Structure 1
Amino acid sequence: MEYTLQPDEHVSDGIKRIVDGKIERGIDHIDEGDDVHETVHEVRKRCKEIRAAVRLVRPVLPTYKRENVHYRDAARRISDIRDAHAAIETFDDHLRPAVEARGALDDSTLADIRATLVDRRETMTAEQDLERRLAQVRADLVEGRDRVPNLPIATEGYDAVAGGLRKSYKRARNRMGEAYEEPEFERFHEWRKRIKYHRYHTRLLRRVWVGPMKRRRAELKQLSDIIGYENDLAEFEMVMHDEELFAPATREILNEILTAKRSEFHRQGRPLGERLFAEAPDRLIDRLGAYWTATHEYDPAP
């Protein structure tokens, strides 16, 4: 089921349809997934999509806090294992190529680094009993699905989504300024989360004007990926030092490369972020409201 509100449906019906569909997909991932780590990744994405959908209507959904916390906590059951797998992906996709380009470490050392990361993930998977945790997440999804038909969304039309859209956009815009004012991990991590919520909201509202909204979503995806790569490198760096992974000399070399790569992603994200969040929140809400009106009131075939 498409993750987009349709012009011919009430907002309340659309949000319920979307949430129910994402819950069903999450359950299917758990029941049918062959690769357990891919299952973890996909289930967490479904929880984020559900949370974004309820955030879009949060000012008019009295039970918003309950629903948001429910799916947040469900995803947290498997977040440590996902992070351990993400460390391997970060090494493969970003860190290893940078190390090889510099000729900083030999092949044997690189193989040892990866083996350490894989062992760490597998140990965590066994200690935390991943199958049991996925069963708990499945139960969480089933419980949430039972509430979907009665989600008390209080109004319809653009009024139902304008407040949540404004909040997600304003927070992303503000977090950008804070991140570049003081470029610490926590601030970029928070900005990344807000970018992703605004990106999901752009996807949910795609039908108000398909072409421009599709382009905006693509650029938000690009920005989310850039800042996501920076976040992944920062988390790798923290884990590497906190758990004293690898030999001290290896950590020193990796730390130098991590710092350089993070700075590179900071620079890449700035111009894109400045363009995407140039508008004041009220102006963006008014502009998308005009798109909504044109589509829902005047377009015979939106």
Structure 2
Amino acid sequence: MPFRFRPSDDTVEAGFRRIACETLDGALALVRERAAPDEDLIHQVRRACKAMRGLLRLVRPAFPAWRTENAAFRDIGAALSGTRDRRVLGETIELLARDAGDDISPAALAALRTALTGEAARTAGRTAALLDGCAAPLLAARVRAESWSLTDHGKAALLPGLRQTYRKARRAMATLAALDGSPAESAASHEWRKQVKYHWQHMRLLRSLAPDHAGDRIAPADRLGDLLGERHDLDMLLDRIGAQAHALPDPAAAALLSALARKRIARLMRKARRVGEDLFEDKPSAFIRHWHFEDSPA
């Protein structure tokens, strides 16, 4: 279903409720129908929760209940995060193994993978229970969404939140640049990624109201989010290697994986900076002046 406001929405508030209810209906259908492997369903439900948080941030200044509702979707997503970590750790190890070639033997790689994903793997048998557990909070949010209300209308309900998230993404980019090479860099990169993802959600939401502005930004924002997401996965693996260094079966292989991860992070960040500098070139005041909605809801 389209995740966007429509010119045909009677009001921004009506469009806000419609998008929320459609997104939550989709998530509930995933939980109830179980038409895919549980791990895939968990990934899709987490994506729906992130989409909801992006929607809430767009109208945040005009939505008095935003803090409570944002926390509800954050908590649902957090409860499902363990299965994501297990899958991503394994995929990231395999990615680096391709870079390593013959420098890591299959036996050493298998032993490292077992050691590094073992803690997360204990969640594997709990996926069905995790899906069952998120059904009630999703349904409760769906019921609440039918009566959500905004304190502003038209572009006044949309532009302040759009500007706020753009400003946060731009500031997070600058913070990361200032921390280049410091121990705090990975946390700053993760924060930038979160704000970029929210900005991407906003472009998706507004693409029918302002196609000339939002439409051109969707692909680069998505690309930047992917680059920073891969960097986050590599950081997570580096953290796991560091935390378990004393117990890993092949320290030399682990050290090689770490070196390859850092090398790959450097490449990713060069690309991310180029995309980010183009995407967030304008100051927030200049960025928001470009936005004029044609045939937008009241």
Aligned match of 2:162: 165
Offset, 1:36? 1.4
Per the TM alignment, residue 12 of structure 1 is displaced from its structure 2 partner at its CA by 0.8
Residue 211 of structure 1, CA deviation: 5.0
Q: 1:138 aligns with which of 129, 135, 147?
A: 135
1:209·1:295 contact (CA, 8 Å) conserved in 2?
Answer: no
Q: Is the 8 A contact 2:116 2:240 kept in 1?
A: no
- Residue 207 of structure 1: SS of its match in structure 2? coil
Whether 1:174 aligns to 2:174 is no
Deviates more, 1:235-244 or 1:217-226: 235-244
CA deviation after TM superposition for structure 1 residue 198, in Å: 0.3
Q: Which one of the candidate residues 272, 275, 282 is aligned to 1:279?
A: 282
- Look up the SS of the partner of 2:146 in the other structure: helix
Using the TM superposition, give the Cα deviation of residue 212 of structure 1 relative to its aligned residue in structure 2, in angstroms: 4.6
Q: Which has the higher contact order (CA 8 A, sep 6+)?
A: 2
Report the equivalent of 2:31: 30
Question: How far 1:119 moved relative to its partner?
Answer: 4.6
Q: Which residue of 1 aligns with 2:251?
A: 248
Tell me how far apart the structure 2 counterparts of residues 55 and 118 of structure 1 sit (CA, whole Å): 34
Amino acid at match of 1:177: A
Q: Which residue of 1 aligns with 2:232?
A: 231
Residues in 1 aligned to 2:5 and 2:139: alpha-carbon distance in whole angstroms: 23
Q: What is the alpha-carbon distance in structure 1 between the residues aligned to residue 271 and residue 71 of structure 2?
A: 33
Structure-2 separation of matches of 1:258 and 1:134 = 32
Q: Check the 8 A contact 1:52/1:200 in 2, yes or no.
A: yes
Quick one: distance in 1 between partners of 2:25 and 2:103?
47
Q: Is residue 12–residue 153 contact of structure 1 (8 Å, CA) maintained in 2?
A: yes
What does residue 216 of structure 2 align with?
Answer: 215
Sequence identity, in percent?
27
DSSP-derived class of the 1:150 partner: coil
The CA deviation at 1:165 is 0.5
1:132 to partner: Cα distance: 2.3
Q: Which moved more, 1:8-17 or 1:24-33?
A: 24-33
Stretches (4+) displaced over 6 A: none
1:41, distance to aligned residue in structure 2 (A): 0.8
- Cα 1:33–1:120 change in 2 (3 A) is farther
1:296 is matched by which residue type in structure 2? S
Aligned twin of 2:76:
74
Q: Quick check: 1:81–1:125 contact (8 Å CA) kept in 2?
A: yes
Aligned residues: 289
CA distance in structure 2 between the partners assigned to 1:277 and 1:166 by the alignment: 12
Would the alpha carbon gap of residues 286 and 246 (structure 1) be closer, same or farther in structure 2, given more than 3 Å must change?
Answer: farther
Q: Give the Cα separation in 1 of the matches to 2:211 and 2:82.
A: 37
More off after superposition, 204-213 vs 162-171: 204-213
Q: CA deviation at 1:246?
A: 4.3
**Which amino acid is 1:167 matched to?**
Q
Q: 1:7: which partner in 2?
A: 7
> SS state of the match for residue 296, structure 1?
coil
C-alpha distance 246-200 of structure 1, shift in aligned 2 (>3 A): farther
Q: Indicate whether 1:258 and 2:258 are aligned.
A: no
1:152, CA displacement in angstroms?
1.7
Please tell me the residue identity of whatever aligns with 1:135.
D
1:53 maps onto 2:52 in alignment? no
Structure 1: gaps of 5 or more residues: 298-302
Alpha carbons of 1:270 and 1:246: their partners in 2 closer, same or farther (altered >3 Å)? farther
Provide the alpha-carbon RMSD of the alignment. Answer: 1.7
Match for residue 300 of structure 1? none
**Alpha-carbon distance change, 166 to 211 in structure 1, aligned in 2, over 3 angstroms:** closer
Tell me the distance in 2 between the aligned counterparts of 1:147 and 1:208.
Answer: 26
Per-residue deviation, 1:107 = 2.6
